[in-house]
Structure 1
Amino acid sequence: MHINMKYYIVSIGAIFIALGIGMLVGFNLNYDQELSKQQASIINDLDNKFEDLKTTNDNLEDSLANLTSDYDQAIELINKNTNKIISGGLLEKNIGIISTNENNDYTKEIEEIVTKANGTLSFNIVLSDNIENKSKLEEASTKLNIEFKSGQDVVKYVSECLKDEGGVTKLQNLQSLELIKLNSISSDYLNYDSVVLTGGNEAKNGNDKFSKVDEVLITKLKEQNKNIVGVQKSNTKFSYVDLYSKNKVTTIDNIDEGIGQVSLVISLSEKGISGNFGRLESADKLFPYKK
């Protein structure tokens, strides 16, 4: 049979092409196997590291759970023994109380804390919403022969009464005009060391009221070199803590809790203690202590 030379040439060429393809495929297969080994090694390392991290995370969660449990138990212990802890903490301390919001008045509760800590209550005054009432201000201006243009003037007047020997009569006059509520005042009110401001607001006008009333009062009390502690309850809708803090006033955001009451007594016992205490994110510490 006659075989054409072109057939040989094509056949030989096909053989070389096949060999080339075979070598290329073989090389790629070998490369892929090496790559697969590297990938498998990396994945294995990642799995091991993930397991290590998971173990570490589980251990941290267990530690955190234990710490949280210890923390809760400590708080519960303090809350159950608050009266014993604060007893005697305010001996020879004269404490005044002022509420700037008659609709959120819990000054009687602060009185109880001061009494249980064996402190002396100098006064308990609640500023009425009427201090912004123009007709009431006009009436007071006429009867007392003092110009009251705004609630700020009343606030300043109250702070001046608390360093005046005739202050009791003046404060009683303000009460008769329904500008304040004088819950109590002692004969030794002039010698008060500290003032507890009961803050927090249930209304939406908290910022505005704070600037018109609380801020003015804080400024006047600081001029008299008085120790000021601003307190509020843990469920307060409009918090005053940040506003107090901006005015460099020590704050306690959970006065309705035993731990908050301990914080108040410690803060009132020494002027050198300052900060923001309680449970809110803005708090520096749970309660104050000196190093």
Structure 2
Amino acid sequence: MIIDFKYHIASLIAVFLALGLGIFIGTSLGYDNRIGEAILNQQKQLTQGIEKRLDELKKKNDELEAINEELEVTNKVLKQYQEETLPVLVKGKLTGKKVAIVVTGYYGLNDEVKEVLKKAGAEIVSITEIIPEELTNPADIDYIKSQMKWQIKDEKEFYTKFALEVGKNLLTPGDGSTLLTLAKTDALKITGKYGVPLDGVVVIGGGLSESDLVNYLDLPLIKFLKTVPVVIGGEYSNVEKSYIKYYQKERITTIDDLDLPSGQLSLVYGLLGVKGDFGVKSTAKRLVPPIGQ
């Protein structure tokens, strides 16, 4: 916490002005000079008190700044240590595992998530990015409904239908024509192979504000994907609106800090089948899985 001295200086000036005005009024009304002297004495005492308080605040501010600098150094060292030890801890852990990534949130796919999976030996068979800003665009909704010939009563049903279509193409062998149709809009980006056996799926969410979209897009998708051996619901530590509490309703492993080395370690061990709620937020039960077991 850094103290704002501008506020205290403004307060001091306001006090001086008020006292000066009081002296002026008292003099104008012809009061005894003793009244003016009394006001001046009060002004002097008040000024000394304020100056003392400002000195105390400055000292406290300096102490807080010093503590903050120490914490920043400590955090930098810890992050560097985690980044250097992470490759050793995950190397070869996911060799032979086929993993699909589905992004449903507003924060995209962090390159570090892909890198840690590759370092662990996993094969990322597909990356599916649902762009919520575009998915909620009326023009894209109308286009998809027309192309897919969906008879849908409202947008909530549309989001669920969209999620299930993505899920079917992830798991069911086919020509992928419906997925290609969806990808003709800006609402969906796809890369990789679809309809192949999977060992795990990572769903990465996180919103910008309070929204029901997670209930009609993410949760139906997760329910559909539960035939895969491992389904993980994750997000980054800095998202404005966390989806973790919603993912936990489906009793899947959750990770709320995929942008941090600790979250990436949890991701690898989660795909190995270690269950739990990991991360740094209040919804987490542990920082990382018990990797020593």
TM, length-normalised to structure 2: 0.65
Against the structure 1 CA distance between its residues 164 and 192, is the aligned structure 2 distance closer, same or farther, given a 3 Å change threshold? same
Partner of 1:185: 192
Distance 1:119 1:79 in 2: 19
Q: How many residues align?
A: 214
Deviation at 1:162?
1.6
1:260 aligns with 2:263: yes
Partner of 1:217: 221
8 Å CA contact 1:168–1:185 kept in 2: the answer is no
Residue 246 (structure 2) aligned to one of 240, 243, 247: 243
State percent identity of aligned pairs.
Answer: 24
Partner of 1:168: 176
8 Å CA contact 2:113–2:259 kept in 1: the answer is no
Deviation at 1:229?
0.9
8 Å CA contact 1:140–1:148 kept in 2: the answer is no
Partner of 2:130: 127
Distance 1:86 1:257 in 2: 14
8 Å CA contact 1:255–1:261 kept in 2: the answer is yes
Against the structure 1 CA distance between its residues 128 and 84, is the aligned structure 2 distance closer, same or farther, given a 3 Å change threshold? same
1:275 aligns with 2:276: yes
Against the structure 1 CA distance between its residues 202 and 138, is the aligned structure 2 distance closer, same or farther, given a 3 Å change threshold? closer
Bigger Rg over Cα: 1
Partner of 2:206: 200
8 Å CA contact 2:162–2:217 kept in 1: the answer is no
- Amino acid aligned to 1:193: D
Distance 1:244 1:89 in 2: 25
Deviation at 1:214?
0.8
Q: Secondary structure at the match of 1:105?
A: coil
Q: Secondary structure at the match of 1:142?
A: helix
Against the structure 1 CA distance between its residues 113 and 167, is the aligned structure 2 distance closer, same or farther, given a 3 Å change threshold? farther
TM, length-normalised to structure 1: 0.66
Against the structure 1 CA distance between its residues 284 and 160, is the aligned structure 2 distance closer, same or farther, given a 3 Å change threshold? same
Deviation at 1:179?
3.2
Distance 2:179 2:281 in 1: 36
Distance 2:172 2:150 in 1: 16
Against the structure 1 CA distance between its residues 148 and 179, is the aligned structure 2 distance closer, same or farther, given a 3 Å change threshold? farther
- Amino acid aligned to 2:199: D
Mean CA deviation greater in 116-125 or 80-89: 80-89
CA RMSD of aligned residues (A): 2.6
- Amino acid aligned to 1:231: G
Deviation at 1:152?
0.9
Q: Secondary structure at the match of 2:183?
A: helix
- Amino acid aligned to 1:280: K
Structural mapping, 1:17-56, within 5 Å: none
1:91 aligns with 2:95: yes
Distance 1:107 1:191 in 2: 24
Q: Secondary structure at the match of 1:217?
A: helix
Residues 138-197 of structure 1: CA deviation (Å, up to 9, x unaligned): 322333444455111111111111223225333222111333111x1136x511111111
Q: Secondary structure at the match of 2:166?
A: helix
- Amino acid aligned to 1:123: S
8 Å CA contact 2:98–2:125 kept in 1: the answer is yes
8 Å CA contact 1:99–1:107 kept in 2: the answer is no
Deviation at 1:72?
10
Distance 1:154 1:241 in 2: 21
Residues 243-287 of structure 1: CA deviation (Å, up to 9, x unaligned): 2112212111121111211111011022xx211112223321121
Unaligned regions of 5+ residues in structure 1, if any? 1-70
